[in-house]
Structure 1
Amino acid sequence: MPVSSITVSPLPDFLVKEAVTRALAEDQGGRGDLTSLACIPAAEEAKFYFKARDAGVFCGMQPGIEAIWQMDPDALVNWHIADGESVAAGDIIAMVMGKARALLAAERIALNFMGRMSGIATFTRRYVDAVEGTKARIAHTRKTTPGLRAFELQAVQAGGGAMHRFGLDDAILIKDNHVAVCGGVAAAVRAARSHAGHMTRIAVEVDRLDQLGEAIEAGAESVLLDNFSLADLEAAVARAGGKVTLEASGGVNLDTVGAIAKTGVDVISVGALTHSAPNFDIGLDWD
């Protein structure tokens, strides 16, 4: 992969702790890990290794370590791979030592977070690599797993993707239904401009080339080109002349993203990064 590692911003500790606590409670129910309680003496200690079974990009260190420490606060964890780093099949991601019962109770939750997040990071990196040599940035959407958006978007960042809106309160993005209710692109943008403060960015979605001029004239700073053909994307780039940020969306996959990037758009948003990323295979092996 052209990019070997990415600097990943950490998530707030309270958010990680809350999500992992919920996941552990869901997994253990009211009686805990019956198998480990039945088979393993309480004082038994063990050493395990988290190992990559695929090649890709790792992400999920924070929830992984949180799951371990919630079950065994005294466990020793030695990370070999950081979020955003590339791994090969067989690479050791981390070594953990502690109470065997606790580590086995934490295993599935740690692996669920790391597998999901590493899968998104790896999938995102494939899109980023596919547009290498163009100015286009690959961005996520809000098509995320409810309650896990922060983790999934951290994984997008680990894969080299660009940040889009985290939530509805991040920026004004006028979509097709807003346009319909407001009576047109220009009317919707003008209404948003009169409402928004000077620090709030306004973006609008258009589905026809003739709406681009309306959006620019009304004061939009970004225009989302929804399901445009390659020819229309090229025409939009020429008409905009760098006055606004142009974002392409719709019909984007690994087969089409390279050609879309070559039209000259600034951003390509891809819902598949989070709603269709395959899981990344990580295992926990006993030493």
Structure 2
Amino acid sequence: VVESRAKNPGGFRLPPKVPGQKELLTRAYELLGNRTQRKLKPSAELELANLIGVVPENRYAAQRYKAAIELQLRKEFRVRNGTLLATPLSRTKYMDMITMPESERDINRSFSMLQALRREGDVAASTRAQLENLIGIVPRDAHEARRASNALKRLVRERCRTERYPPTMPETDAELTTAYMLISQYAREGTAGRRNTELEELLGALPRTENVACYWKKFIGMHIRKNKRSALVNSRKAMAELIRQQRRERREAREAAVQAAEALEPFASNYLSASRMRLLVILAVAAASCATGITIRGPSTNLKVLP
């Protein structure tokens, strides 16, 4: 029994030589299956070497080759109505080939037709013609219909991501308000009337559908609210800075008044009596700080000056 650690150590890789016919590839698949269980006879080893160009050194290598050949069988040889089909296209190739419908209604119709093709394996000729007209290709069977459906689904998701935001955003608040008004009208009515050109100049493009216009409307509204919050924060910061500046000026005026009073005190004490000196100091302090409206305290003063 092959152990679980041998299932996919490092990924499945094809052997050096891969048969081009389904019968030979199936025979190589059978021999590799036998090698995963036990050693092969010399004749079987020779046959396997002729088919894939190498004899696996152990059962783990045989298991990897076997899994890779199984995937190759599923991919290369698919039969419908007795006819061998070509290799199916990958999802990325389908993404390059599919033409995206513009309207949501056409996209939903395309998905419905692909689902019917996946379920039934074949559809009517008229349905095939409509599908080709919508997405540009017609899958040949249910397997390709599944890949085409997945590719179309991925393209729709990518377009939704790219269309969620407008190409450009207005810079001024007035332009943002105008764009919000016009995009709201577009989301309601499917057009901005005569102002479609103005809307296209503001946002860089017109929305593809009303749903896209709703996305853009929400995004522009978010920017308007963000600008209002920023303006409010800036005004509060400016007011706080103004208050701090006023307090700083008052503190400096108070310190200057106290210093003037202290500088005047020793000079006046030599010529004036204590009462006259105190009165002179008070008058000097009051004259220096009459506009501050604060209480000035010093060694010789204790006065509250009103503005």
TM-score range, shorter chain: under 0.3
* TM, length-normalised to structure 2: 0.21
Answer 1 or 2: higher relative contact order, Cα 8 Å, separation at least 6: 1
User: Which structure has the highest helix share of the two?
Assistant: 2
User: Which structure has the highest strand share of the two?
Assistant: 1
